[in-house]
Amino acid sequence: MLLLGHRGTPRLHPENTLAGFRAALEAGLHGVEIDVQPTSDGQLAVHHDPHLTSGRRLREHTLEELRLEKPDLPSLPEVLRWFAGSGAALLNVELKNETDRNDGREALLVQALRDVPLGGRVVVSCFHPLSLQRLHALDPELRLGYLTSDHPASKELQALAAPPPLYSVHPHFSTVTSETMQAWHARGLKVFAWTVNDPLEAQRLAELGVDGLIGDLPDVLRGAAPHAATAAR
């Protein structure tokens, strides 16, 4: 069972920063989950919301302009280069998307991953089925994860003319049951549950056999690991 820091260690460091990512590994986690979205100069910034605290939208400003307000805002290539030498097991890159329009963000992401090859240490997740379809068309070898806050048998995903093959499903922890776990694993899907911050919930998920936990608190995630080992035996 892989333990991933949700945006790093957001209770201890600013989220989606290199300092937070480093702290997650130092705390014994296996990797991190990050968010990416495009800037006006064709770069991918590692940031969750479509705007900064001031309301400045990422899509309308260059990376350097955004860094005037948020100096610790990393770009995806910077995070990939750090990750390449970190020894971490998995980087979960969530591609943020708010529209059906193809604005090229999928192509930017695929190119960044080609520039810094990380082999099987990356999974790209997204709530948007069309983005997953575009990512697969650009790179059929890319490991894709479907993010959902509801049951992952999404009508939107099923309605695609050519649904992309998935490596994993990333459900909200509340939708993970023994029945859904059995169904997902029967389809050959890895299951990474988010955002898991309650010790009892982490233990429940570990005992169900999830493949990964994504959370804000390293101690909570590490505390679930013995229960996963017990379930596996």
The string of pLDDT tens digits covering residues 152-202 is 556 777 778 788 999 999 999 999 999 999 999 999 999 999 999 999 999
pLDDT of residue 233: 41
Q: What is the CATH number of the domain that holds 225?
A: 3.20.20.190
Task: Round to whole Å and give the CA distance between 70 and 55.
Answer: 12
Residue range 32-75, pLDDT digits in tens: 999 999 999 999 999 999 999 999 999 999 999 999 999 999 99
Question: Which token pair is 159?
Answer: 């309605």
Give, for 159, the enclosing helix (H) or strand (E): helix 155-159
Residue range 90-107, pLDDT digits in tens: 999 999 998 888 999 999
Q: How many domains does the chain have?
A: 1
CB atoms within 10 A of CB 133: 19
**Structural domain boundaries, residue 197:** 2-232
Task: Round to whole Å and give the CA distance between 45 and 34.
Answer: 10
pTM of the model: 0.95
pLDDT of residue 159: 74
The answer to whether the beta carbons of residues 57 and 65 sit under 8 Å apart is: no
| Largest Cα span, the chain | 53
**Average confidence score pLDDT of the chain:** 94
Task: Round to whole Å and give the CA distance between 152 and 225.
Answer: 25
Among 153, 7, 159, 33, residue whose Cα is nearest residue 89: 33
Task: Round to whole Å and give the CA distance between 106 and 7.
Answer: 20
